A and B are shown apart, each in its own frame.
Chain A
Amino acid sequence: MRVLVVEDEADLADAVARGLRREGYAVDVAYDGDEALEKAAVNAYDLVCLDLNLPGIDGIEVVRRIRADGGAQPPRVLMLTARDRTVDRVVGLDEGADDYLVKPFDFDELKARVRALLRRDAGRSGALLQVGDIELDSARHEARRVGRPLALTPKEFALLHYFLSRAGQVLSQEDLLEHVWDENADPFTNTVRVTVMTLRRKLADAGKGQPIETVVGRGYRLREEP
């Protein structure tokens, strides 16, 4: 899952990015509204953590434009705001933000809200994701196949998470690079192929059959039925 953190306080933006990266998200950071819009135009984010009070283009305007230009599946928007007046939150929510958090916030709460927002796209209501015999608990950071725990690296975990939330869809290497890796990933390396390979090996070791199949010339697909 790919996240954009928009916050003009560099010390806060970097800490949020660091914390979310450790959760396995691919995180980019923008320090003002213009940079946020540039990045949102280039990359397909699943979620934007957005400070409302930005120099230049302000947060409300960023929400509005992200909603307008977001295409078929605009990113979820989580507002971060230091203003606790109801009217500020109402304006933000009305303009298309999905949730808000008042500063200073508990980082665990931020993580929980990010998870909850990302779940909405998958149309589920719990932290537990299950397809066939594969289970993934995004809150506890655990993945199992046939009840057997999988020892995954954060990137493999994030990749499996993305496959599970798009079960049955064909995902190209570009899709995976867009949503699982951040902007620092080199698009010309075979990092996606290698990570998919190691993930498939770990899945195959834990149970019978290979749930992630290759669709020749198009990408990969997680089979919904085992």
Chain B
Amino acid sequence: MNPPERLLDRLPEWTRSIRFRYTLLYSAVLFGLAAVVLAAIYLVLLMALRATPVSSGRALFCPHGECITVITFREAERLVNAETLGKLRYYSLGALGVLFVSSLGVGWVVAGRVLAPIGRITAVARDIQATDLSRRIQLPGPEDELKQLADTFDAMLARLDAAFAAQRQFVADASHELRNPLAIIRTNVDVALADPDASTDDLRQTIAVVKRAGDRMSLLVDDLLALARRQQPTLEHEPVDLGAAVAEASDDFMVPAETRDIVLDRAIAPGVVVTGDREALKRVVANLLDNAVRLAPAGSRIRLATGSEGNRAWIAVADEGPGISPEDQAHVFDRFWRADKARARADGGTGLGLAIVRQLVESHGGEVRMHSKVGVGSSFVVWLPITRPAIDGGQR
């Protein structure tokens, strides 16, 4: 657009580097300083030594026909001074010239040394593809600014690597979970179709199996979508009456609990308001209750309670189910983890319920804790921050 920019564009590549600019700056500053110092010395000397060159001789003395100029001692002193100053000027300019050239060279080398790690960082960063994040810069040398930069970069790479690995693992797990019902559908249909004399009962049975597998897949797809959607910040931020939301979510479980002869006790404290996504919080309660109702033995009791403590609200679900062994407790919130694979698949769990719970709770700035004892039961407690206490008894 404007001429200077076009001029910059026309310059060769290497003149646009930091190294070049640093060299120019270094050399210009050094040259300027040296010039100022030399000029100052020169001027001071010039003032101190009155140096006027000898003008034409005032007295001519011709003893033997040859004339020599006669000058006074003072005049001779001035003459010497003038010559000294002239020499000083000459050598100073020479020294300045040499200094300028050598400062360019030294500046170029020093800038190269200082900037070398950046070159290395750039080269590694350029080499790294999104699919191979295993490389690190690992800059050697002292703990200086560039080393800190490289280390920060390495730490970022490690986090990215872990995130990508988790993503790959998730995709592998999800495809694995989807392949099993697909295999069931395909094999059953293949086997049924290959039998020319299949009876209506046989076919009916095959259809029932296919329906079961289809139901399982749609549950799984729902959960996978829920999980993927929650990874994006699309959650609402609005005041939610926790008691009302929990009551609403638990209403859906009264009938399933009753049919399994399970008592669902509710102790819901009114007036606790948290900030968040109402639907997401209902899903948290629903997933916890779903697990409890599915796994608790008939005739047992499930307790659901909410309340607040200080500036935190809590939701607790306790069952009298089989419990979870201490070594398994660490995996409870992992995706696709099941306490008993064979049983959980048969009764319709996707293995994603608690992973979703944890993700939703953490996206609300809360945490979920589990306490379990084999043969006694499990309890889950969700803690959520309260942003503002309710004043009017939670009626909003």
Chain A residues packing against B (C-beta within 8 Å): 8-12, 15-16, 18-19, 22, 31-32, 53, 55, 80, 82-85, 102-108, 110
Contact = CB atoms under 8 A, between A and B. Distances in A.
15 contacts: A10-B346, A11-B209, A15-B184, A15-B188, A19-B187, A19-B191, A32-B342, A55-B341, A82-B176, A83-B172, A84-B175, A104-B183, A105-B186, A107-B194, A110-B187
A108 B190 CA distance: 8
Contact of B184 (A11, A84, A106): A11
B183 A105 contact: yes
A61 to B, nearest CB: 15
B362 to A, nearest CB: 29
Contacts of A22: 191, 194-195
Given A15-B209, A22-B194, A104-B179, A55 B187 contact: no
A12 B184 contact: yes
A12 B213 CA distance: 10
Nearest to A16: B187
What's the interface size class on B, roughly?
20 to 34
A107 B180 contact: no
Contact of B187 (A82, A102, A107): A107
B21 interface: no
6 nearest interchain CB pairs? A107-B190, A103-B183, A104-B183, A82-B179, A19-B191, A104-B182
Which residue among B182, B183, B187, B213 has the maximum number of chain A CB atoms within 10 Å of its CB? B187
B392 interface: no
Given A15-B191, A103-B183, A107-B190, 17 more contacts: A10-B346, A11-B184, A12-B184, A12-B187, A12-B188, A19-B194, A22-B191, A53-B176, A55-B342, A82-B176, A84-B175, A85-B172, A103-B180, A104-B185, A104-B187, A105-B186, A107-B186
Contacts of B175: 82, 84
B358 interface: no
A105 B190 CA distance: 10
Interface of B: 172, 175-176, 179-180, 182-188, 190-191, 194-195, 206, 209, 212-213, 340-342, 345-346
A84 B175 CA distance: 9
Contact of A106 (B176, B186, B213, B341): B186
A104 B191 contact: no
A100 B280 CA distance: 42
A6 to B, nearest CB: 13
A22 B182 CA distance: 22
A110 B195 CA distance: 16
Nearest to A102: B179
Nearest to B192: A15
A82 B173 CA distance: 10
A110 B340 CA distance: 29
Residue among A15, A80, A83, A110 with most chain B CB within 10 A: A15
B190 A106 contact: yes
A11 B176 contact: no
Contacts of A80: 183
B195 A82 contact: no
A102 B180 CA distance: 10
Nearest to A55: B341
B183 A82 contact: yes
B186 to A, nearest CB: 4
Nearest to A20: B191
A108 B346 CA distance: 27
Contacts of A12: 180, 183-184, 187-188
A16 B192 CA distance: 11
Contacts of A10: 346
Given A8-B342, A85-B172, A103-B180, A19 B213 contact: no
A16 B180 CA distance: 13
Nearest to B185: A104
Nearest to A54: B341
A30 B187 CA distance: 17
A18 B191 contact: yes
Contacts of B346: 10
Contacts of A83: 172, 176
Contacts of B340: 55
Contacts of B176: 53, 82-83
A80 B33 CA distance: 80
A81 B345 CA distance: 17
Most buried by B among A9, A10, A102: A9
Nearest to B195: A22
A60 B7 CA distance: 69
Nearest to A106: B190
Nearest to B176: A82
Contacts of B184: 9, 11-12, 15
A54 to B, nearest CB: 8
B188 A11 contact: yes
Contacts of B179: 82, 102-104
A86 to B, nearest CB: 12
A48 to B, nearest CB: 17
A10 B208 CA distance: 13
B325 to A, nearest CB: 15
